[in-house]
Amino acid sequence: MRKLQAALFVAVLTMVAIGLSSCGGSGGKEGGTLSGSYASFPELDPTISFSAEGWTAMYDTYLPLLTYKHAGGEEGTEVVPALAESLPEVSSDGKTYKLRLRKGLKYSDGTPVKASDFTASIERMFKLDSYGSSFFTDIVGAEEFAETKSGGISGIKADDKTGEITIELTRPRGTFVNELALLYAAVLPADTPAKNLTGNPPPATGPYEIATVERGRGWTYKRNPEWAKSNAARIPEVPSGHVDQIDISVVRNASTQVNEIERDKTNWMQTVVPADLYSKVKNRYEGTQFRVEHPINVYFFWMNTSRPPFDDVKVRQAVNYAVDPAALERIYSGALAASHQILPEGMPGHESFDLYPHNMAKAKELLAEANPSDREITVWTDNESPNNDAGAYYANLLEELGFDVNLKTINADVYFQTIGNPSTSNLDTGWADWFADYPHPNDFIEPNFAAESPFNLSHLEVPKLDEKIAGLAEEQLDAQVEGEYAQLDRELMEQAPWAPYGTNTVSTFVDSEIELDKVIFNPTMGQDLTSFQFK
């Protein structure tokens, strides 16, 4: 009898525990309409959209063969299968990638997804001259197709019957798996017209479809009717989402967005909380409605190593010693996580170090040793706050070091075009930032430091390092390669072509109705719309 009582007691306790865990653990409601605000209207065509806003908007709508894991932090940098059954099989020479499309997948309009749609989608990318096409030019025949826009890309073979897709590359490309997971490579129906479809987005493969678009003003999502019927069970890596509808409106003024969240009129703002309100919002809502997020980026001052005075490594090192992260943290209203290296935290291959801790005396000493004859320099920055302030701070710092500085503040819309144009005169030094296209260290190293890269603002040309960069670019990322990238980061900083000063954080700010703890911030794609849930 006592045993029976004990068993009953345990059973009751277990049931209570299960009941409690179901209340607290999974928590939250299913369904409802999420309202969100954006500060600008992004392109809503996955093939051409290259902004962080656009990627957040379409992460759960258009699926590539592979995707980034629906998770935050380091876990979110992992590439997982989406429309493909598994990660690609890579040949031993690193030039052939084999994937297989999952069977029975459908677009939101009911059309079956075919392997040849992938070929058509990559071709559409080249037809539209998408920024993303630069990641796929190593596919055999892609460069010719980019020029002629006809005849197909011979390096992609797709079999609609078996779903097999084979991609041949002209050379090994260690980043290709990451690139296949970008939205540019999202699979769309083969007959999707080669024009910007923002106003009338193509059918979706993900859990949500874009239902209506009011250009410049907002858009709405509804559940993809084919997701539950055909795709959800076949793609377990992509969650189905909690809310039934998402209404996004464009509110240009970020302060208004904050105000609407505080008054529970909007559930979420995609925009970063503005500098003016940052500390107030952070202090009042951190942990309950506000969270600091860490996308993978680096902010830095570049120095042109091909012309005086920055052709002298001592001058560049002096500048690195002079830059004060404490000042820049203030300039970025406390939103900057200071660091003094190229690979930021969260990027595979990142190992913390600081070769140049702030030391003005050391900076002046190095500069006295170098004694550059040319002290007339132009400092470039854009006019967006607080980057303009960072540029003004840098100009003032260089003046303090004894340079005769001319500060050029350029409209942000054309800033990178201007400083990236070799014919622009007086490209001495300036501000810049670099955001990860995908979480692979080569995405930071090769474009910025390979001698022939058009993005190499510092014009660094060290043959030994160049060789190492090219060699690593062909390797598939593993622990050993990550270690080599960490070493390369250090070797590059010894050359001091940049004075990196930190990673800019962003924020997730939701109203009191949303479960903040459940909102996922993927470091590549931003907030995951499938993770939003009402309390």
Partner 1 sequence: MESRSPWYLAYRRLRRNRVALSFGALFVAIALFALAAPLWASDVAHTTPNATHTTETVEVGGEQREVVDREGGPIGPLWLGAGGRFFLGADGHLGRDEMVRLMYGGRTSLFVGVTAALITVLLATLLGLLSGYYRGWVDGLIARVLDVVWAFPVTLLGAALGLALALGGLRIGPIVISGDSVWVPILIIGFVYAPYVTRPVRGEVLALREQEFVEAAVSQGAGPLRIMFGELLPNVLSTLIVFFAISVANSMLLESMLSFLGVGVQPPNTSWGTMIAEGFELITSSPLLTVLPGAMLLLTVLAVNVFADGLRDALDPRAKRRLEVHAGQTEPEGTAA
Which residues of this chain interact with partner 1, rule CB under 8 A?
255, 274-280, 282, 324, 326-327, 329-334, 383, 385-386, 388-389, 392-393, 395-397, 407-411, 414, 418
Element (H, E) at 368: helix 360-370
For partner 1, the closer of residues 360 and 470 by Cβ is 360
Q: How far apart are CA 382 and CA 385, in angstroms?
A: 8
Q: How far apart are CA 32 and CA 52, in angstroms?
A: 26
Q: How far apart are CA 179 and CA 173, in angstroms?
A: 10
For partner 1, the closer of residues 335 and 469 by Cβ is 335
What stretches of 105-188 show up as alpha helix (H) in DSSP?
Answer: 115-127, 142-148, 176-180
Cβ 505 to partner 1 shortest distance, Å: 13
Cβ 400 to partner 1 shortest distance, Å: 9
Cβ 457 to partner 1 shortest distance, Å: 19
Cβ 410 to partner 1 shortest distance, Å: 7
For partner 1, the closer of residues 329 and 374 by Cβ is 329
Q: How far apart are CA 336 and CA 325, in angstroms?
A: 9
Cβ 435 to partner 1 shortest distance, Å: 22
For partner 1, the closer of residues 398 and 436 by Cβ is 398
For partner 1, the closer of residues 318 and 335 by Cβ is 335
For partner 1, the closer of residues 334 and 372 by Cβ is 334
Q: Are 314 and 367 in contact (CB under 8 A)?
A: yes
Q: How far apart are CA 349 and CA 487, in angstroms?
A: 9
Cβ 279 to partner 1 shortest distance, Å: 4
Cβ 212 to partner 1 shortest distance, Å: 32
Number of H helices, E strands in the chain: 16, 21
Cβ 504 to partner 1 shortest distance, Å: 13
For partner 1, the closer of residues 32 and 334 by Cβ is 334
Terminal alpha carbon distance of the chain: 43
Would you state the structure tokens that stand for residue 462, as one six-digit string? 């060290």
Three-state secondary-structure class, residue 70? coil
Element (H, E) at 494: helix 479-495
**Residues pairing with 221 in the sheet:** 210, 246
What stretches of 265-352 show up as alpha helix (H) in DSSP?
Answer: 275-285, 313-322, 325-331
Cβ 404 to partner 1 shortest distance, Å: 13
Phi, psi (rounded to 5 degrees) for 409 = -105, 115
Would you state the structure tokens that stand for residue 172, as one six-digit string? 């090994």
User: The tokens 């071709």 sit on which residue?
Assistant: 123
For partner 1, the closer of residues 245 and 385 by Cβ is 385
What is the 8-class DSSP label of residue 162? Answer: T
Cβ 273 to partner 1 shortest distance, Å: 12
Cβ 422 to partner 1 shortest distance, Å: 17
Cβ 462 to partner 1 shortest distance, Å: 33
For partner 1, the closer of residues 97 and 278 by Cβ is 278
Cβ 334 to partner 1 shortest distance, Å: 4
For partner 1, the closer of residues 266 and 387 by Cβ is 387
- Please choose, from the candidates 110, 117, 68, 84, the residue with its C-alpha nearest in 3D space to the C-alpha of residue 239: 68
For residue 472, give Cα distances in angstroms to 10, 93, 134. Answer: 58, 14, 19
For partner 1, the closer of residues 208 and 415 by Cβ is 415
For partner 1, the closer of residues 125 and 432 by Cβ is 432
Q: Is the dihedral of CA 504, 298, 64, 162 positive or negative?
A: negative
What burial class does residue 17 get, using C-beta atoms within 10 Å of its C-beta: 0-12 exposed, 13-18 middle, 19+ buried? exposed
Phi, psi (rounded to 5 degrees) for 287 = 95, -30
For partner 1, the closer of residues 154 and 411 by Cβ is 411
Compute and round to an integer the Cα radius of gyration of the chain: 25
**Torsion angle of C-alpha atoms 201, 203, 209, 215, degrees rounded to 10:** 10
Element (H, E) at 290: strand 290-293
Cβ 335 to partner 1 shortest distance, Å: 9
For partner 1, the closer of residues 278 and 449 by Cβ is 278
> Max alpha carbon distance in the chain (Å)?
98
- Please choose, from the candidates 255, 165, 249, the residue with its C-alpha nearest in 3D space to the C-alpha of residue 214: 249
* 174 contacts: CB under 8 Å, gap ≥ 6: 94, 440, 442, 472, 473, 474, 475, 476, 477, 481
